[in-house]
């Protein structure tokens, strides 16, 4: 079983829809949770970075962490065709170095 599980998709939604992307994890020592967006032929771009359980909002993006359920989510409101990309969740346990453990990524397609 992978430490971080993420539905690979593809997830196809119409423009303007609310998108929900999710990851589950098994290691309760993970303390930091990140979401990255990766366009084709580009490196991952950090979107959101959270430390504790709860919600964090940045524009159209909301990151949600539920440590008790070992579950994190990224919500995208009013999705745009430019949001079409692969979204990767990542986690870090600072007590075990600074490496990031990634989910497999979810490919999102927003259709105009």
Residue ranges binding another protein (CB under 8 A): 6, 34, 41-44, 46, 49, 88, 90, 92, 97-100, 102-105
Closest distance of CB 98 from another protein, Å: 5
Considering beta carbons, is residue 18 or 46 the nearer one to another protein? 46
Closest distance of CB 57 from another protein, Å: 19
Considering beta carbons, is residue 26 or 78 the nearer one to another protein? 26
Closest distance of CB 83 from another protein, Å: 19
Considering beta carbons, is residue 17 or 38 the nearer one to another protein? 38
Q: Which residues contact 35 (CB under 8 A, 6 or more apart)?
A: 21, 46, 47, 48, 61, 63, 74, 87, 88, 89, 90
Closest distance of CB 14 from another protein, Å: 25
Strand ranges in the chain using DSSP code E only, listed in sequence order:
4-6, 11-14, 19-25, 32-38, 45-50, 54-58, 61-66, 71-76, 85-92, 101-102, 106-111
User: Length of the chain in residues, anyone?
Assistant: 112
């Amino acid at each position: 079983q992978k430490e971080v599980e993420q539905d690979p998709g593809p997830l196809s939604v119409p423009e303007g829809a609310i998108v929900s992307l999710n990851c589950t994890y098994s290691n309760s020592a993970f303390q930091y949770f990140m979401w990255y967006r990766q366009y084709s032929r580009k490196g991952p771009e950090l979107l959101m970075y959270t430390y504790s359980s709860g919600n964090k909002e940045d524009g159209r993006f909301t990151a949600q962490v539920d440590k008790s359920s070992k579950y994190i989510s990224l919500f995208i409101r009013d999705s745009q065709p430019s949001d079409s990309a692969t979204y990767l969740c990542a986690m870090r346990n600072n007590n075990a170095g600074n490496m990031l453990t990634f989910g497999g990524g979810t490919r999102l397609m927003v259709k105009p």
